[in-house]
Amino acid sequence: MPFPRTALLLSGLFALATSQTAQAADTATCLSQPEVEGIVAYALPLLVDAAVKTCAPRLSPDGYLATQGASLVQRYAARKATTWPIAKAALLKLTADDTGKNAGNAALMRALPDSALQPFADVIVVQAITKAIKADDCAPIERITGLLAPLPPENTSALVTTIIALADKPKPDGKGGKSGLHVCPVAKG
């Protein structure tokens, strides 16, 4: 797997997982880096847990995900309650289109209590991650996860957010470059 693909794999999985509900959103809608970081921090335990379960048959039972994955999930999950409000606000911002064919979905999502919306968001993230992980991605995911694991969760989510923001920049030829989260440009100051 080429380095750029490997380096962006985890951030790509985060972007894919969290952009599934954003597909119907207006392309002008963007998220600030703190909003993206909230989504990433919220999704970290879901991502690692999905990777552990999806990759288990493809990796060594003595490898990092098999031996340390569950404890890493717990460490990241300890922040889910505090990151949920930011992730929820970003999710609702992405689905705020009240005029299109998904207007009913946007209104329903805003009306749902957290006790219903949060599990719904979790299912979307897990399904997208599980679908995105290919067999040959498991070894690089395990390596990247092991390398990121010593970082405090806050640093991990900030690093992944930075990678997503870099990946979101349009390329010089004007092609590609969108992560699916539409990260707002940082104002120069």
DSSP 146-180: HHHTTS-HHHHHHHHHHHHHHHHSPPTTS-----S
pLDDT tens digit sequence for 32-55? 999 999 999 999 999 999 999 999
pTM score of the predicted model? 0.79
Q: For position 3, what pLDDT does the model report?
A: 37
> Which residue is listed with tokens 């599934």?
20
Task: Tell me the chain's radius of gyration from C-alpha atoms.
Answer: 16
pLDDT tens digit sequence for 6-15? 334 444 444 4
Q: For position 125, what pLDDT does the model report?
A: 86
Q: For position 8, what pLDDT does the model report?
A: 41
Low-confidence ranges of the chain (pLDDT < 50): 1-27
The single-letter code of the amino acid at 17 is A
